Structure 1
């Protein structure tokens, strides 16, 4: 947070010139520290790119899992049909 000219003059009147200078320097150092921690548009773009890559990987794995599940369900359907047919054949005799 940068002190404006009016703010610094009021601060000088309230606490004196030496204390006002120390306080102003403190605010400036805090302002620089805060600005270093802020995300830039470039940082946000990189995060969005990473999210898109991860989303594509998740969608791919979900499609693979879906295909595997369909394969297992179809196999179980065939096995169940074979068992039912065998039981019917045994019971009909």
Structure 2
């Protein structure tokens, strides 16, 4: 789990977490798997945004999902800006 945490901290989202234990280590492994998957999902959305695709919305996982909320707000603001540019150019 330390190696996985270190990789995630360095931006390596392509980690494999295999934990078959049913004890506390298994619970920890499962939590890291959920965390890694959430990071992967949001990273793929950000990559799409970097390619100019702002047609998506981010699933908000909880009221404390600061990153997801900020991503949705950024998508909304960029779409508003692009709409204003289209209107102004017409």
Q: Which has the larger radius of gyration?
A: 1
Could you state the TM-score of these two structures normalised by the residue count of structure 1?
Answer: 0.35
Could you state the TM-score of these two structures normalised by the residue count of structure 2?
Answer: 0.36
